Structure 1
Amino acid sequence: MLTAIGRDANNQVYPIAWGVVDIENKPNWKWFLELIDDDLGLDGGRGMCVISDQHKGLLEAAKEILPFVEHRQCARHIYANFRKVYSGVEFKNMFWAAAKSTVEGEFKLNMQKINQISPAAYEHLMGKEPKSWCRAFFGSGLACEAVENGMAECFNAIIMEARKKPLLTMLEEIRLYMMERFFNLKGTAEKWESQVCPGAIKKMEKFAQYIRSWIQ
């Protein structure tokens, strides 16, 4: 199953499209992206980012259909492969500190800590194109600071039972789930007192706490 999952204005999971194919390859990803682009008018991916596990078929299809999109690697996928060789809490904490670094200097400092413990671990991560999974190198103006595609994992977990069923039954269960979800979210949103989503307000309040200690 190919899926495109985004976030809504309240920072919640928003399934955009899903489709069933016989195999995950470039032609099928191209077909999937063409349908999304035609339906939503994505303008070649301008002002958008895609976070994935860097499947070659998706990368090549995106270059043709969404040539202007910023394609990021899922840091969780990078770490899953990294910990097979470099396991332990210390490596885990250092990796995520590096991935979530907001400026290049901070990234270099965190990577240097890894280098001091294991030069091989440092070389391993530097060989994984850090500019595609470290926050410090992401393009500005995209309003998306995510370094992993947990949104897609959430959707996959929700439809896990449905995927065990025959094709038409599976698709019908997913359709019914999504209709119910959108209905419930709409009902919740109608009860909000503010014109700004609670998720956005919560984020701004958190930012405000950090800003108090900033020094220019």
Structure 2
Amino acid sequence: MKKCKLDVGVQTITAKRKTKRLKEGHYIDQYNNLVAYRKELLRSNPGLTVEIKTCMDGDIRRFQRMYICFAACKNGWMNGCRPIIGLDGCHIKGHHPGPLLAAVHIHANNGMFPIAYAIAETENQETWTWFLELLKWDIKIERGSSYTFITDKQKALGNAIADNACWFPNAEHRHCVRHLYNNFKAKHPREELKQLVRNAARSSTVVWFNKHMADLRELSERAWSWFQDKNPAQWSRAYFRDETRCDILLNNLCESFNAAIVLVRDKPILTMLENIRMDMMVRQSNRRVACERWKDLVGPRIKKIIDKIGQRAIEYRAHRTGEFIFQITVRFKKQEAALYCNDYLIPSTYMEAYNLIIYHIAGQEDWEPVDYPIAPPLFKQQPGRPEMKRVKEPRERNQTTAPPAHKEGKLPKAGIKTC
């Protein structure tokens, strides 16, 4: 506005707010319509789980939490996905901010597959325990030791996973290596240490893990000591369990989901929830169509990984010592490596995850009315302009963007003085 020399007064801001309210609905009305929205979801999507938790503030019933898990998502996960789940929360930036908790899986083509999500009043062990108990019931987890969770090393979430009430006491719990390294870098910023930490995390055997940790100790005793209370089973491939058939080190699944909904996280609650449902519904349909165009025995992303590994292994060959057991020496005959991939990675398994549909719902004017008013949660407005941008990590703050390139034959205007 300064560039155009326009005076934006209070009336302009008020008009903008009124326009947004007409378009998206008043936030109080949206909370009052949550139960009607729940009833419409249950009508149109059989098998769906929707839980709304409220608390009493005198005679007023106030919103506290809401959990949603579509039947297409939970059944798709059980039928066609590996037993690994990414957990994370992101901030809602609307009139009543709070965390949005999410459980996200990795499908057969190494992409994100949302399972369930919830809006809560805060992000702590209590809310994560509540979320995980509902998730455990939805996806029918009976033996916690058969599952793997990957998180951003949040203490409250880690305690919730290990909580006996959640039936996850023996589950494998991985920590995102990027977040682990950011904590390490705060005390040990030397660049040469970075590659050694990465090598240790990517090690496929305990022998190589110990070798890289010995190199780290030789370079810096203090840096090596920092890892002594960190369980390597939570951040190194050498100690990961084989049952998950997945060796991911980063919690990019949840980061992808958070990025997909970033444009709706500042909307009123009903508008936000409906936009998330629409996004998931369209994604399910698009991926079913995309799978029909696959030309290989595995998905395109998996094919690239296999080809990359194949280039490194072109000089090796396998000598059978038993069923699915080989000794590797020198390869003499080229074969289709995808034939040896686990069933979790083949197209038929991918389609098992996306066969079910997230169904559309009727327009709000056609919802069956429900006399169950819910007031918004109490929120104290903080002084100053609300922060809309996320807090950047140290590595992002240090990154500098290159100046825009100017056209050939013309000088940039920056730094030029005129008479």
Both structures adopt the same fold (TM-score exceeding 0.5): yes
Gaps of 5+ in 2: 1-99, 317-327, 330-419
| C-alpha distance in structure 2 between counterparts of 1:119 and 1:9, whole Å | 41
- The range that moved more, 69-78 or 36-45, is 36-45
| C-alpha distance in structure 1 between counterparts of 2:255 and 2:220, whole Å | 31
1:44–1:30 Cα change, 3 Å: farther
**Greater fraction of residues in helix:** 1
- The range that moved more, 206-215 or 55-64, is 206-215
In the alignment, structure 1 residue 110 sits paired with structure 2 residue 212: yes
Quote the residue 1:173 is aligned against. 275
Higher relative contact order (CA 8 A, sep 6+): 2
Where 2:187 maps in the other structure, the secondary structure is coil
For the 8 Å contact 2:153–2:180, the answer to whether it is kept is no
In the alignment, structure 1 residue 13 sits paired with structure 2 residue 120: no
For the 8 Å contact 2:151–2:174, the answer to whether it is kept is yes
Where 2:227 maps in the other structure, the secondary structure is helix
For the 8 Å contact 1:44–1:67, the answer to whether it is kept is no
Cα RMSD after superposing both structures:
1.9
**Greater fraction of residues in strand:** 2
| C-alpha distance in structure 2 between counterparts of 1:36 and 1:16, whole Å | 9
1:197–1:47 Cα change, 3 Å: farther
For the 8 Å contact 2:109–2:300, the answer to whether it is kept is yes
Quote the residue 1:164 is aligned against. 266
- Within 5 Å, give how 1:1-216 maps onto structure 2: 1-63=100-162, 64=164, 65=166, 66-194=168-296, 196-213=298-315, 216=329
Per the TM alignment, residue 53 of structure 1 is displaced from its structure 2 partner at its CA by 2.2
Where 1:102 maps in the other structure, the secondary structure is coil
Per the TM alignment, residue 54 of structure 1 is displaced from its structure 2 partner at its CA by 3.1
| C-alpha distance in structure 1 between counterparts of 2:315 and 2:294, whole Å | 31
Quick one: percent identity of the two aligned structures? 36
| C-alpha distance in structure 1 between counterparts of 2:215 and 2:285, whole Å | 48
What amino acid maps onto 1:167 in structure 2? I
Per the TM alignment, residue 100 of structure 1 is displaced from its structure 2 partner at its CA by 0.8
Per the TM alignment, residue 140 of structure 1 is displaced from its structure 2 partner at its CA by 1.6
- The range that moved more, 114-123 or 57-66, is 57-66
Gaps of 5+ in 1: none
Where 1:29 maps in the other structure, the secondary structure is helix
Where 1:196 maps in the other structure, the secondary structure is coil
- The range that moved more, 42-51 or 11-20, is 42-51
Where 2:120 maps in the other structure, the secondary structure is coil
For the 8 Å contact 2:206–2:239, the answer to whether it is kept is yes
TM-score, normalising length: structure 2 = 0.49
Per the TM alignment, residue 126 of structure 1 is displaced from its structure 2 partner at its CA by 2.5
| C-alpha distance in structure 2 between counterparts of 1:106 and 1:193, whole Å | 37
Per the TM alignment, residue 195 of structure 1 is displaced from its structure 2 partner at its CA by 5.2
1:85–1:213 Cα change, 3 Å: farther
What amino acid maps onto 1:159 in structure 2? I
Per the TM alignment, residue 97 of structure 1 is displaced from its structure 2 partner at its CA by 1.0
Quote the residue 2:352 is aligned against. none
